[in-house]
Structure 1
Amino acid sequence: MELVKEQEVLIDIQNLTVEYGKKKNTILAIEDINLEIRRGEFICILGPSGCGKSTLLKTIAGYLNPTSGRCLMQGQPINGPDWHRGVVFQSPTLYPWMSIKDNVEFGPRMRGLPEKEIVEIREHFLKQVKLEGFEDKPTFELSGGMKQRVALARVLANYPQVILMDEPLGALDAFTRANMQKLIRGIWKENNSTIFLITHDIDEALALGTRIEVMSKRPGKILREFNVEFTNTIYKEDSDHIMYSEKYFQTKKEILDIINSQTEE
């Protein structure tokens, strides 16, 4: 039964095309994309700048409507933002006038959950992102890494079925970024989360994803799919030595060649 549950299709993208603008000023952002996101997967999207990665994420989130094609969640059309699909952006969208705990409690409180349950949810996810003891700290005083941990906890507090991440670690320094990758991997495994992450970093995609989709230059199309197991190995062995293996470097080279072929004039 568990195997069936893990293979449930949460998001079904069918022949998706999105255009911006009107008439002569129309820009074709993504074209004819077909993609399934299954429960428990960690999907990473790679591609050259401007290829439509964020457009794809915003359509899944419900911020944009398809020009043609369909974007379904559990068989139903996505018609706007929904707490079942939580979004973590590159710049943390926190309420700066609120404390850490108030930010994390915001979603459950707006959904009218009982106070005891709200506190339990907040304590659980602050512990999971390693921010217990900082509950009352104002968010405007936090470092970039801490802000992203709060943003992640705030999304997790709604128990979304899919977590959408738009380059959430792009602005962090290398050390903080590596720590956040480990944190996100652990949360994904422990919660059996489903994550869809956009990144420009091939190593990040290989170190986190179970499936990597490589997109073309605009209009964005999916060129190649890679099914990889590096993140599971890193989690099981609590070591990133797999990132120095021949298989890892070969996969990285294949992805890099595809992306470079798209950016050449």
Structure 2
Amino acid sequence: MAAQKEKESLIKIENMSLEYGESINSTLALKNINLEINKGEFICVLGPSGCGKSSLLKCIAGYVNPTSGKVLMQGKEVDGPDWHRGVVFQSPTLYPWMTVNENVEFGPKMRDLPKAEIEDIREYFLEEVNLSGFGENYTFELSGGMKQRVAIARVLANYPQVVLMDEPFGALDALTRENMQNLIRNIWEENNTTIFFITHDVDEALLLANRVVVMSKQPGEIIRIFNVDFTDQIFKKGTKEVIYNDDYFKVKNEIMDIIHSQID
């Protein structure tokens, strides 16, 4: 993808540490994080439980301020949440009193876009997440996978510069999860979206990302970054047979070894 080759920097994390609590009760969650997220990238973050993956995402989103260091977005320091950084959580955070259409339209309406444009955006993203025809349903009428698709459409409808996803498929059954992986991979490709995706599943990371970031146990540090191209291979071949090749197993085993070395 051309945008990745040009390496247009979108987010830069510089010497960032995060401490929760104060004095003797404090916990160092993240330590000396340095990371650049480029436009059009799909970055997956892996690491042992409690390593600070979600804390890192919250700092990028602007929900939490780092204790030291900084998060910059296009050169400007992040100092709070912003629609340019859309967040998808593990549990869909939808408005249950609204229909699917109203949930997806919410962001564009808040930005006072013209009615016709809002409708076009809604229809486009409902089609992208394979939910055309469900617009008049309320979200409580939907399955878990469908709710998560609405949550993704709602975030994308704002055209954020980066989508931050915190284990978004973790609560789904295996088949739904695979369908959602295919869906987000295709949306990323079609829209040149920038995605920062947290997961505990090594296969999920390798089948989605073009960069995999591996973190240490708490306090979370970045141990290693892998550049991978299995997603490109899936697009070229149209199948996931890539997961059976030697290169895939080599990278997967290397990542697993690093993560296991971090578990007491």
Question: Is this a same-fold pair by TM over 0.5?
Answer: yes
Check conservation: 1:108, 1:157, Cα contact below 8 A: yes
Which whole-Å CA distance do the structure 2 matches of 1:240 and 1:252 have between them?
15
Q: Which residue of 2 aligns with 1:148?
A: 148
- What is the aligned partner in structure 1 of residue 262 from structure 2? 262
> How many residues align structurally?
263
State the Cα deviation string for residues 116-136 of structure 1 (Å, max 9, x = none): 000000000000000000000
SS in 2 for 1:37: strand
Q: CA deviation at 1:4?
A: 8.0
Residues 1-265 of structure 1 mapped to structure 2, 5 A cutoff: 3=3, 6-263=6-263, 265=264
Distance in 2 between residues matched to 1:254 and 1:155, nearest whole Å: 34
| Kept after mapping to 1: 8 A contact 2:13/2:36 | yes
Q: Which amino acid aligns with 1:50?
A: G
> Matches of 2:129 and 2:148 in 1, distance apart?
10
1:6 Cα deviation from its structure 2 partner: 4.3
Residues in 1 aligned to 2:3 and 2:221: alpha-carbon distance in whole angstroms:
30
**Per-residue deviation, 1:233:** 1.0
Q: Distance in 2 between matches of 1:172 and 1:227?
A: 27
Amino acid at match of 1:63: Y
Q: How far apart are residue 236 of structure 1 and its match?
A: 2.3
Is the 2:29–2:218 contact (alpha carbons within 8 Å) kept by the matching residues of 1? yes
Cα distance change on mapping 1:50 and 1:3 into 2, 3 Å: closer
Q: For 1:131 and 1:187, how far apart are their aligned partners in 2?
A: 14
The letter of the residue matching 2:62 is G
Q: Distance in 1 between matches of 2:24 and 2:175?
A: 46
Which residue identity does 2:227 align to in structure 1? N
Q: Which residue type is aligned with residue 45 of structure 2?
A: I
Provide structure 1 residue ranges, at least 5 long, that are not aligned to the other structure. Answer: none
Q: Secondary structure at the residue paired with 2:168? A: coil
Give the aligned residue type for 2:55: T
Distance 1:72 1:166 in 2: 20
Question: 8 Å contact 1:13–1:36 — kept in the other structure?
Answer: yes
* Alpha-carbon distance change, 28 to 147 in structure 1, aligned in 2, over 3 angstroms: same
Cα distance per residue 1:61-115 (max 9 Å; x no partner): 0000010001000000001000000000000000011100000000000110010
Letter in 2 for 1:197: F
| Partner deviation per Cα, 1:191-216 (whole Å, 9 max, x = no partner) | 00100000000000000000000000
* Alpha-carbon shift at residue 45 of structure 1 (Å): 0.2
The change in CA–CA distance for 1:109 and 1:222 in structure 2 (over 3 A counts) is same
TM-score, normalization: structure 2? Answer: 0.98
Q: Compute the displacement of 1:235 (Å).
A: 1.8
Q: Give the match's secondary structure for 1:212.
A: strand
Structure 2 counterpart of 1:193, which letter?
T
How far, CA to CA, are the matches of 1:229 and 1:64 in structure 2?
A: 32
Calculate percent identity across the aligned residue pairs: 66
Give CA deviations for 1:11-54 in whole Å, capped at 9, x if unaligned: 00000000001121111000000000000110000000000000
3-state DSSP of counterpart to 1:50:
coil
Amino acid aligned to 1:142: L
SS at match of 2:262: helix
Counterpart amino acid of residue 31 in structure 1: K
Question: Does the CA-based 8 Å contact 1:5-1:39 persist in structure 2?
Answer: no
> Partners in 2 of 1:115 and 1:21 — Cα distance?
46
> Which residues of structure 2 form unaligned runs of 5+?
none
